Structure formats: structure tokens, C-alpha cells
Amino acid sequence: MPGVSTGYKQELYFGNEPTGTYGSAVPVAKAMGLVQSIDPTETSNIIKIRTMGGTRDYSNLVPGRFEINGSFEYLIQEGNFLRQAFGDDSGVSTTDGGPRTIAGGGGGSTYLHVLGSSSTPDANSFPSFTLEFTDQESSASKSLKRIYSGCRADTLAISATLDAPVTARVDYIGQKVEISTADATAVTSPTVDPYVFYQGHMYLTSGAISGQSAVTGTVCELNNFDFTLNNNLEAVYYICGTNRPWQSKRSLKELIPKGRDMEGRVTLNFSDKDQYERFLGAAAATTPQDTITKFQTVLDFARTGGPTGTASTNDWMRLVLNSCAFDSANIGGSPEDVVTEEYTLFVESGKCYVLDDYSSSYSSNE
């Protein structure tokens, strides 16, 4: 009886491709983390041809443009892959720049990274990555290693839900795939636990927020929070071969990030009308307002300490969503159930702040 493969034998790693050489495969050096699933799809787009004077069947089947896309889901332990969705990890000021040391000494050092601090990177500057997906069997001839180069994150969804770790789901588009039976690359995986729901806090405020601002205005009794970032990638093909040796003739030539969309959804246990007043347009509003007050929405996850602390033992991640407007509201009810209220929000812009022990930018492969 032939053997079968199981997901326990599979490994998923990635490497940051250098700026300006999109699609140039690099050795992977980073673990994705606690991967829960991956769903890659490659499409040959076969061109089917009939001919006059032939039969009712096709006369030719010609390979068309080669497309690569897929998705994977993992539990967030650290922030280094999130750069691929948010954009660059650099800024123009001390507060907004990353990484920078915020604590150091004999007890170790911690560094603040600011993801998404470059709001309009062009196509050559937007990060891309090489993805290694290996199914490593006991017999080398049955193993399959796939190297996907020229990958970019199209969408990122971060979900924080009761009784579950904080989860990231990524949809990606790639340019080229190469296969072999080689073993998976030896990569050191993170050992910290993933962020979980009880380490989280959500705030609404009208004040300016940075990576280490103290925030008041906690939204009480939060049940879940979903955040989605969409880079609206457009795959560009054109009629020609390629003079770039690392690219494939049939594959896409450019993968361009267009306008960025961010949105979210929150579900709360209903306790008072404050949140619904915000939805109507302003605190204390009693009817829909002609103009609305926008809010800064902050989601913190802290294993140790918090964003205002400077100890080297601090360990946290902060998502700051700027100028949020609530788009829809639902407050229902049924017998014997806790009353919940659910809101969707549109986001003007956003950044992700991560504190960890990486001394360099996430753009490196250290």
C-alpha cells in the first residue's frame, strides 16, 4: 500500500527579497511561525485551439500565462512577516522610525519597529519575499520542495477572538516556482507563545497615538476584533520574453501595489449607548449627524509590560488605526443570550508597532 503524506511533515519558511530586484529568489532565513494551514494554487491557463478542416476535438493545447497565488494562516508570535503586508519598516523621525533601541543593557535589549510608516512606496520599494514550502518525506524521492519567488502580500487579516490565539491570514501572489526533492532549509523558529485574546486591550480616542503613547478610553467587554488590509495588487503581463534571468517568460513581469484599503469589525457585549452614539457621529448624539467625529482605534497585545514601558522585558504589539469611521451597526437580541453589538469601521491609514529583540530592520534576513 502506498504511503501518504501528512501536514506534520510540511514546513513553511520565507526570506526577504532585496529592494529593486523583484522576483530574485533569496535563501530563506525566517520561520513563519505556528502555521495552521497553507493553500497554494498554480494555474497554467491552457490555451485551447481548434482548426478549420480538423475534427470536433482540439488540435492544440498550448500553455498560457503562469499564475501563482495562495493563502496561509498562522498564529502571531512576532511581527517580522507583517512588514510584507504593511510596507516598509522605516520612518522620518525618531518616534516614527524603526527599528530603534528603547531599552538595553545587561538584561538584553529591545527594539521598536514601525510597520507601515512609509505610506506610498513605489513598486520597486514595496517588500517582496521568497516562500519555501517543503513536504519532507522519509524517502527523498517522494519529498517535494517548492520555492516561490516574487511573492507579495495582497491581503492581511488579523483576528482576535475569545478563547483563541491572535491569527493572521495572508493572501499572496507570486511570480515563479521551482521544485526539488531537497530537504527543508534549517531555520530557527521562534519559541515564544503566540499572542492570545486575554493579553489584548482596545481603545478609542481622538488624540494622536504613537508606538509608546499612553491611551485612555478602553472599549469594554470586547468579544472579537477583525482587521483587514488590502494592497490591491495588480499583476502586470506584457508581450515579450524577459532579459531578467531570474524571471520566467510565462510569469507576470511586475506586481504593483495600488491604493491601500483598511477596515475592521468589532463585536462587544452591549452595556450602554456610548458606542452607538459614536456610530451616529459624535459622543452624546441622539440622531445621525451631518458630520461625524473620527476616532483613533488602538488594539494592544502585551505579553509583558505595555507600550509605555521601557524595560528590556517588555513584549508587545500595537495596531494603530487612524481616522476611523463606523460604517454599520447591529444590536440585536434573543431570549437567554447576552446582547451584543457589532460595528464595521473604515480606516484612513494605519501602522503596526512591534517590540522585540531584532536589532535590524525586518527587511534583513538575519
pLDDT digits 0-9 by tens, 280-327: 988 889 999 999 988 888 998 988 888 877 777 788 899 999 899 999
Q: Write the pLDDT tens digit of every residue in 23-60.
A: 787 889 899 889 999 999 999 999 999 999 989 999 99
% the chain with pLDDT above 90:
40
DSSP string of 300-364? EEEEES-TT---TT-EEEEEEEEEEEEEEEEE---TTS--EEEEEEEESEEEEEEEES--S-TTS
- Using one digit for the tens of pLDDT, what is the confidence trace for 221-268? 888 999 999 999 999 988 876 666 667 788 898 899 998 899 999 998
The Cα 200–Cα 204 span in angstroms is: 14
| CA gap 11, 262 in Å, rounded | 30
Q: Which residue ranges make up each domain of the chain?
A: 7-49+61-356
Q: What's the average model confidence in pLDDT over 342-362?
A: 86
**CA-CA distance, 248 to 253, in Å (whole number)?**
8
Q: What pLDDT shows up at residue 90?
A: 61
Burial class for 120, CB neighbours closer than 10 Å (0-12, 13-18, 19+) = exposed
Three-class SS of residue 8? helix
Instruction: Classify residue 274 by its DSSP letter.
Output: H
- Render pLDDT for 263-276 as a digit per residue (tens, 0 to 9): 999 998 888 888 88
- Bond prior to 18 in cis (omega within 30° of 0): no
Q: What is the pLDDT of residue 212?
A: 78
Predicted local distance difference test score (pLDDT) of residue 108:
66
